[in-house]
Structure 1
Amino acid sequence: MIKLLIADDEHLVAESIRFIIEKYTEGVEIAGIARSGREAIEKALELKPDIIFMDIRMPGIDGIEAIRQIKATNGEVLFVIVTAYEYFNYAKDAVNLGVHEYLLKPVNKHRVVETIHTASQSILTKRRAIQREMLLKEKMNKIIPHMEGQFIYSQLLSGRMINDIAFYEDVFGMGLAHGYVMLAIVEESESYGREETLKNSLDKQRFYDIFSLELKSLIPCLIGPPMLDRTVAYIPVNMDEDSYTARNMAIETAQRLVNRVKKHINIRYKIGIGRRYDIGDFLKSSNEAYMAAAVANKDSVIHYEDVILSVNTVDTYPVNKEKMLIHKMLTGDLDGVLESFEEIFWWLTVNYKEDMDKIKSKLLELLVVIKRSIPYEVKENDISEQGQFIQLLRIENISELKASYSNFLKDITLAIGENREKELNGLILKSLKYINSSYHKNISLDDVAKEVNMSYHYFSKFFKETTGKNFVDYLTEVRIERSKELLQDLSASIKEICHEIGYSDPNYFCKIFKKVTGMTPTEFRSNSLSQEVI
């Protein structure tokens, strides 16, 4: 709906315009009528019209001045000048104010209708353009966080220079060629039960949300998705700034962030800051940030260049992360596998720095552990230990080493999943075969679970997820289908058929049969016979 305001001190003119618009146009609402320039300004502020029919000569503030003041607060409104012939030249000056059209008094019906039509089309076109722009912006606002997370995650995994950096700079609206990594590590709190564990997870997610929101309000940056106990942010900078000033600015930003975060959540964490590099050395800055945050220190914000490390100090290898990686691998959790490896690789690069031989040695040890921990079938078919050893030994670039090992873990995890699926398919076929051959016996879910060597509870869930039916329903379906076949033999009694399919109580059999088929066994037999006769 288009809202229109009429500003004219001549009652007859104003009512004539109102009459023409209401009778001969559609989609236009007369929002109000003003009798003076001052009243036109006040009503324009109050009613926010889309179109204003403005008389030039009115008492007090004239039409031209009223247009100037209204446009100062509402630049989108369209003005149509209404003037007597003797003021025509005066009215033409209004074109400089962006007036849409001017009409001579007395107003002509066709000119008014035509003017309303063109003004409405102009407004509707502008509205559609705004709607398209808002829709596009909304879509981009939904997509950009995913692209942002993908950008950070890809840099953490591969550490390679992005070829189309200009594309990402355009999407994110910031330069990305140089910058540093700011990394927050949430300290693990003791957990004694399921509720505490759930609370810890919720606190970490809330911390990530607050950290992201507050850091983005302080400085242009990209923030990756939360990974286990850490959050990674990439902050673009100008490399022309001297190193000392840049370091202090980064620390100041982090400290301001800490002050903001503590207003929202009480959680223990540390922020580590890496040095500035080209985007191609993102992983290096990330490792430095991790090293800084991991150092035992009472400070909540630590810059890598302020960290004093002993050359001989090496933390204990994270065996728990290794166990977690293997567990995630056996359960088919690929994201969990890659995140656990991220932890292990971070530890290796922090403690062995750029000593490729030591890092390779640890990765080869991990490969042996993986080989011993996974099922035999996968070992023989999908792991070429010698080939993997040779490939690792040939790599001399830390980023390539990480990417190669990540791909290796991905292949093994997928292979385990495929083998597990084949195994489970074999087990379900075995269980169905057992049921179909033993339905006439008094078998139970526990009997079938033993047959396929599964626990009672696990098999119950497995059977339902695989077949879409629980055990009792499937067994009943098999028995009823067999009873339908037996009912075709008139020499067999209902009681005999009942015992033949595994039921001991004929009344119970009849009840179940009717529930499944909608008929009693006798009715079913009669109905089948009548159809044969026809």
Structure 2
Amino acid sequence: MMKLLIADDEHLVIESIKFIIEKNVPDVQIVGTAMSGREAIEKAFDVKPDIVFMDIRMPGIDGIDAIRQIKSTNRDIIFVIITAYEYFNYAKDAVNLGVHEYLLKPINKNRLVETIGHIREIISSKREAMQREILLKEKINKILPHMEGQFVYSQLLNGRGIRDIEFYEDIFGMKIQYGYVMMAIVDDFESDVKEENLKNSLIKQKFYDVFSMELKSLCPCLIGPPLLDRVVAYIPVDKNTDAYEVRNTSMEIAAKLMERVNRSIQIHYKIGVGRGYAIEYFSKSCNEAYTAASVSREAGVVHFEDIVLPSHKADTYPIHQEKILIHGMLTGDLTGVLNGFEEIFWWLSVNYKDDIDKIKSKLIELLIVLRRAIPYEMEAPPVSDENYFMDLLKIHHMEELKMSYFHYLKNMTNRIHALRERELSGLISKSLKYIHENYDQDISLDDVAKEMNMSYHYFCKFFKDAVGKNFVDYLTELRIEKSKELLKDAAVSVKEVCYKIGYSDPNYFSKIFKKVTGITPTEYRANSMSQEVI
């Protein structure tokens, strides 16, 4: 439905237009009339019409000035001038104001209906375009957080320069070639109580949500997905801005952010801020932000340049992170692998600073440790360990070293996962074969677990995850299916069928059979026999 406002100082003209529209144009609603320019302006503001029929010559403010003022507040309204021949000297002003059409008095019915038809098409097209734009924006708004998270995550992994930087700048609506990392680290508060851990996880999630929302309200930034105990944000700045000014501004933003977050949620955390770098050195600023937050003993905001790192080794090598890394590789947990390696690489960066050769030697030692810890005989990789060691020694940049090493770990993790899947697939086939060969015996879950050389509890979970049902249900269904075949032979008694499928109690067998099929073994046999006769 289109809304129409008619402005003319002649009552007869207004009534004539109303009559034509009401009789010939069903989808137009006349929402108001005006007999002066001032009244037309006021009515247009109140009723917000789609179309205005405006007479040029009216008392007080004329039609052209009225159109000009209405246009200043609502540029989407379509205007049609109604006039007599002698007012064609207003044509130039009307064209400049984007007037759609002239209607000459007396109003011609066909001409008016035709004009409304043209305007309907224009408004319809505009509304469809607006609807498409709204839908597109809605889709973009849904996708944008994922793209933003992936962008930050990819920089955490490799830190290489971006080929299509203009594309990302256009998508995110900001310049991103230079900036610094701000990182929040939440203090660990794990509990032995399951319900308490669930509550803590919800608190952490709320913290990440509040942190992201408040930081985005303070400055343009890109925020990555939460990684265990931390959230990483990249804040672009002008490369030509003085470094000291960037440092002070970043601390002001972080302080305001902490103040706002603390009003919404009570949780212990620290914020570290790294120095500004070109985007390809993202990981360097990230390491600095992590260092700043880690060194601080109390909750608060710390800039990397405000801390003094010791010249000797900062602390003991994080051997526990090696265990996290190994566990992640064995279970196919790439996030665990990434986090474990991040911690180790950060420790090496802090303790050996710019001695990249020392760091490379330590990373090679780590690979040897990982190889010894993997209980699998893997097929030869595309690149042998010896060749990879040689390639590693040729790298001269920290970011490239980090990226290369992580990709090696990722490939190794994927290969272990694939090998483990094949091995588990073979084990489940073997266990099913054993069950099918021994279902007529008094077998238990423990018997099958021993046959597979697995612990009782592990095999129980393993079997259910692989088959989709527990051992007892699977064995019961198998025995009932076998019993159905035997019951079709009238020469075999129900009691004999019971013993042949592994049960020792005929009454128990009948009870289980009815529970699974809904009828007793005798009823099943009778039904089978009657169907054969038919």
**Taking structure 1 as the reference length, what is the TM-score of the superposition?**
0.89
- Give how far 1:78 is off: 0.8
In the alignment, the residues of structure 2 paired with residue 298 and residue 466 of structure 1 have an alpha-carbon distance, to the nearest angstrom, of: 47
Q: How many corresponding residue pairs?
A: 534
Pair 1:71–1:487, CA change in 2 (3 A) = same
**Letter of the structure 2 residue corresponding to residue 439 of structure 1:** Y
Q: What is aligned with 1:304?
A: 304
Note the 1:136-151 alignment, pairs <5 A.
136-151=136-151
In the alignment, the residues of structure 2 paired with residue 458 and residue 8 of structure 1 have an alpha-carbon distance, to the nearest angstrom, of: 88
**Taking structure 2 as the reference length, what is the TM-score of the superposition?**
0.89
Q: What is aligned with 1:207?
A: 207
Q: Deviations over 1:350-389 (max 9, x none)?
A: 2211212332233233223322322233498899554454
Q: What is aligned with 2:102?
A: 102
In the alignment, the residues of structure 1 paired with residue 59 and residue 473 of structure 2 have an alpha-carbon distance, to the nearest angstrom, of: 89
In the alignment, the residues of structure 2 paired with residue 419 and residue 383 of structure 1 have an alpha-carbon distance, to the nearest angstrom, of: 18
Q: What is aligned with 1:423?
A: 423
Note the 1:170-249 alignment, pairs <5 A.
170-189=170-189, 191-249=191-249
Pair 1:285–1:18, CA change in 2 (3 A) = same
Note the 1:209-358 alignment, pairs <5 A.
209-296=209-296, 300-358=300-358
Supply the RMSD in Å over aligned alpha carbons. 3.0
- Give how far 1:50 is off: 0.9
**Letter of the structure 1 residue corresponding to residue 113 of structure 2:** V
In the alignment, the residues of structure 1 paired with residue 187 and residue 439 of structure 2 have an alpha-carbon distance, to the nearest angstrom, of: 56
Q: Deviations over 1:390-447 (max 9, x none)?
A: 4433433322221222122112211221222122212222221222122223334444
- Give how far 1:109 is off: 1.5
In the alignment, the residues of structure 2 paired with residue 42 and residue 507 of structure 1 have an alpha-carbon distance, to the nearest angstrom, of: 91
In the alignment, the residues of structure 1 paired with residue 4 and residue 457 of structure 2 have an alpha-carbon distance, to the nearest angstrom, of: 72
In the alignment, the residues of structure 1 paired with residue 264 and residue 64 of structure 2 have an alpha-carbon distance, to the nearest angstrom, of: 53
Pair 1:367–1:55, CA change in 2 (3 A) = same
Note the 1:377-456 alignment, pairs <5 A.
377-378=377-378, 385-456=385-456
Q: What is aligned with 1:478?
A: 478
Q: Is the 8 A contact 1:222 1:235 kept in 2?
A: yes
In the alignment, the residues of structure 2 paired with residue 20 and residue 506 of structure 1 have an alpha-carbon distance, to the nearest angstrom, of: 91
Note the 1:506-517 alignment, pairs <5 A.
506-510=506-510, 512-513=512-513, 516-517=516-517
In the alignment, the residues of structure 2 paired with residue 512 and residue 24 of structure 1 have an alpha-carbon distance, to the nearest angstrom, of: 77
Pair 1:243–1:492, CA change in 2 (3 A) = closer
In the alignment, the residues of structure 1 paired with residue 520 and residue 28 of structure 2 have an alpha-carbon distance, to the nearest angstrom, of: 70
In the alignment, the residues of structure 1 paired with residue 45 and residue 479 of structure 2 have an alpha-carbon distance, to the nearest angstrom, of: 79
Q: What is aligned with 1:23?
A: 23
**Letter of the structure 1 residue corresponding to residue 302 of structure 2:** I
In the alignment, the residues of structure 1 paired with residue 92 and residue 385 of structure 2 have an alpha-carbon distance, to the nearest angstrom, of: 88
- Give how far 1:55 is off: 3.0
Q: Is the 8 A contact 1:382 1:412 kept in 2?
A: no
Q: What is aligned with 2:155?
A: 155
- Give how far 1:79 is off: 1.3
- Give how far 1:275 is off: 2.6
Q: Is the 8 A contact 1:91 1:102 kept in 2?
A: no
In the alignment, the residues of structure 2 paired with residue 32 and residue 379 of structure 1 have an alpha-carbon distance, to the nearest angstrom, of: 82
Pair 1:387–1:485, CA change in 2 (3 A) = same
- Give how far 1:158 is off: 1.6
Q: What is aligned with 1:13?
A: 13
In the alignment, the residues of structure 2 paired with residue 417 and residue 297 of structure 1 have an alpha-carbon distance, to the nearest angstrom, of: 39
Q: Is the 8 A contact 2:296 2:302 kept in 1?
A: no
Q: What is aligned with 2:375?
A: 375
In the alignment, the residues of structure 2 paired with residue 38 and residue 227 of structure 1 have an alpha-carbon distance, to the nearest angstrom, of: 62
Q: Is the 8 A contact 2:162 2:280 kept in 1?
A: yes
Structure 1 stretch 502-511 or stretch 368-377: which is displaced more? 502-511
Q: Is the 8 A contact 2:463 2:470 kept in 1?
A: yes
**Letter of the structure 1 residue corresponding to residue 288 of structure 2:** E
In the alignment, the residues of structure 1 paired with residue 446 and residue 60 of structure 2 have an alpha-carbon distance, to the nearest angstrom, of: 96
The SS at the match of 1:146 is helix
Q: Is the 8 A contact 2:178 2:237 kept in 1?
A: yes
Q: Is the 8 A contact 1:5 1:33 kept in 2?
A: yes
Structure 1 stretch 73-82 or stretch 247-256: which is displaced more? 247-256
In the alignment, the residues of structure 2 paired with residue 53 and residue 283 of structure 1 have an alpha-carbon distance, to the nearest angstrom, of: 63
In the alignment, the residues of structure 1 paired with residue 273 and residue 513 of structure 2 have an alpha-carbon distance, to the nearest angstrom, of: 72
Q: Which runs of 5+ in 2 are unaligned?
A: none
- Give how far 1:129 is off: 2.0
Q: What percentage of aligned pairs have identical amino acids?
A: 66
**Letter of the structure 2 residue corresponding to residue 208 of structure 1:** Y
In the alignment, the residues of structure 1 paired with residue 176 and residue 56 of structure 2 have an alpha-carbon distance, to the nearest angstrom, of: 55
Q: Which runs of 5+ in 1 are unaligned?
A: none
Q: Deviations over 1:234-269 (max 9, x none)?
A: 222233333333333333333333333333233333
**Letter of the structure 2 residue corresponding to residue 79 of structure 1:** F
The SS at the match of 2:155 is helix
- Give how far 1:116 is off: 0.8
In the alignment, the residues of structure 2 paired with residue 160 and residue 440 of structure 1 have an alpha-carbon distance, to the nearest angstrom, of: 63
The SS at the match of 2:130 is helix
